[in-house]
Chains A and B, each alone.
Chain A
Amino acid sequence: MEVDRKLLEHVAEVARLKLTEREINKFLPQLKEALEFFSQLKEINTDNVKPSFQPVELKNAMREDREEECLSQDDALSLTEHKKDGYFKGPRAV
């Protein structure tokens, strides 16, 4: 596995981050070192082992499909300056 500048910039773009030149030069060797170390997991035989996505066994927690109280529109909109006519306002889509 080659962790290089191209891969780093690609992963950052997928994660919606634009790295500066300073950040690329700083992060690249750091991430290389970390990922090389984490690769040690391949030493462990996990054939026929099921993954545990949670540490304790859980059942589906369902609730009845009924209306419940929720945030008012005003409250929901109160935490941003980007709003218009009772809606959130985002950047242009097209």
Chain B
Amino acid sequence: MSIHDFIKKIKNHEIDIVEHTYKLIEECKEINKEYNYLNTISEDLALNSAREIKIQLKQKNKNIKNKKLLGVAVSVKDAICVKDVETTAGSKILKNYKPLFDAFVIQKVREEGGIIIGKTSQDEFGFGGFSVNVGIGFKVPKNPFDIDRSCGGSSGGAAGLSQKLSNHIALGESTGGSIVEPASFCGVYGLCPTYGRVSRYGLIDFANSLDKIGPIGKNIEDVALLMSVISGYDKNDSTSLNTKNENYESHLKKPVKGMKIGIIKEAFGQGVEREVEKNVYNGIEELEEEGAKAEEISLELPIRYGIGTYYMIATSEASTNLAKYCGMRYGATEKLEGSFNEYFTKVRSSNFGDEAKRRIILGTFARMAGYRDAFYLKAMKVRTLMIQEYKKAFKKFDALVSPTASILPPKFEDIEKLSPLQHYMIDVMTVSPNVAGLPHLNVPVELECS
């Protein structure tokens, strides 16, 4: 059943929303036993929302029939604030943090009758591509097709749950590929919007000039639906784009005939697994059969220098953002003793995981006097060149195609052997569109099982 049909049945009283939500929560608990997709299941909040909808339907409230997400379960990446629901961004330093407000996207989901079912697991603060860099005390989510493999990251829980749970759409978040890459590993659709299209108000920052909230779902219709709900101008986010709202669903039926598609030359060949390459080419062929015109284009700068540019920008911004976690006002605390610096150091050293510490150190280094010009500022300048290169490409093409990830989901035992730099390389296809603020979409083409 599509989500559209589901909503129709809710509106026509063919499905009892409270009963349905109760069963769905039980299903989440069952899935979570094996796959660890949810850090928190917000059972009370979900059931209360369902009861509220039931009452309004009974009272034949006029507005209720116009709600775009009526009764639809929405999971939320743990980096997005939901009022009174534990929100940790996957970090021990935010354990027990219950926000006093809803993020902009959560307000929108609630206004449209969506039901928040819980907070999905992720790499700590989004620092990873395999969801194995979870914070101290958190569980690693597993691939829905093979529990010995990664479900990708950092929105790993969101992507895995999208594959496993029907009548559900996920809110993910991306800084360098964290929506599309896990979507690819879990065989679902993921849309990372243009920077500024969706408000970041209430998102726990990783890197302010890169972070974007976007939908992940089993069908492209679901993704378009949630995107239409969450996009739009927000005065509380100074980087929010003040442009006309789009109805994303209206684009779904448009033919691809006549579309010009650029195949990124450097995204194929060396370092790309044969099955990945084969299936992406098959996908391109399908588009050509529908009348799209595909042609190769060289984009050397984004593919060759994307990782360096991205990691210098992302870690620099992350190191300043994470400076606020110091055991005061909210989040983890320790016994108050010693000087300011001794206390802050104690709280931070015992609550951040390894990857968070590495990125704080990398970013602090890249911004330090003596190194700033060679690393931080250099990366910001290369970003300008990258944006120019993409602008040139989009004069000729309507869309660009590459694999989302160069490899199939790896086994956990193989991920363990990777150095942090090798781990960073998983983002090679996705970091540059993020650096340039470009929207990108994961489209599943084939399921490869080995």
Give A contacts to B, CB under 8 Å: 1, 7-8, 11-12, 14-19, 23, 26-27, 30-31, 33-35, 37-42, 44, 46, 49-56, 58, 61, 63, 71, 75-76, 78-82, 88-93
Contacts and interface: CB of A to CB of B under 8 A. Distances in A.
A52 B435 CA distance: 10
8 contacts: A16-B341, A30-B358, A33-B419, A33-B421, A37-B307, A38-B311, A78-B100, A79-B329
A17 B357 contact: yes
A91 B360 contact: no
Nearest to A8: B361
B380 A91 contact: no
A91 B98 contact: no
Contacts of B420: 30, 33-34
A58 B238 CA distance: 9
Contacts of B354: 23, 26-27
A71 B371 CA distance: 40
Contacts of A14: 364, 368
Contacts of B312: 38, 41
Contact of A55 (B331, B379, B437): B437
A18 B100 contact: no
Given A30-B419, A61-B238, 7 more contacts: A15-B364, A33-B420, A44-B301, A51-B381, A55-B436, A80-B328, A91-B340
Contact of A35 (B346, B362, B437): B362
B14 interface: no
A11 B364 contact: yes
B336 A16 contact: no
B112 to A, nearest CB: 24
Given A35-B365, A88-B329, A44 B360 contact: no
A88 B328 contact: yes
6 nearest A-B residue pairs (beta carbon)? A55-B437, A51-B380, A91-B343, A79-B330, A61-B238, A46-B381
Contacts, number: 177
Nearest to B99: A79
A52 B383 contact: yes
Given A11-B365, A16-B345, A16-B348, A52 B384 contact: yes
A64 to B, nearest CB: 11
Interface in B382-417: 382-385, 387
B440 to A, nearest CB: 13
B32 interface: no
Contacts of B319: 15
Mostly, the B contact residues are helix
B235 interface: yes
Contact of A56 (B195, B341, B382): B195
Pick the most buried of A17, A33, A76, A81: most chain B CB atoms within 10 A of its CB: A17
B365 to A, nearest CB: 5
A90 to B, nearest CB: 6
A41 B308 contact: yes
B333 interface: yes
A47 B349 CA distance: 40
Contacts of B421: 30, 33-34, 37
B352 interface: yes
A91 B378 contact: no
A17 B362 contact: no
B375 to A, nearest CB: 7
A49 B435 CA distance: 16
Interface in B316-344: 319, 323, 326-331, 333, 336-344
Given A17-B361, A19-B357, A42 B328 contact: no
A49 B384 contact: yes
Contact of B435 (A33, A40, A55): A55
B380 A52 contact: yes
A53 B345 contact: no
A50 B384 contact: yes
A90 B378 contact: no
A17 B330 contact: no
B349 A55 contact: no
B317 to A, nearest CB: 10
B209 interface: yes
Contacts of B239: 54, 56, 58, 61
A52 B301 CA distance: 16
A18 B345 contact: yes
A93 B345 CA distance: 15
Contact of B381 (A49, A76, A90, A91): A49
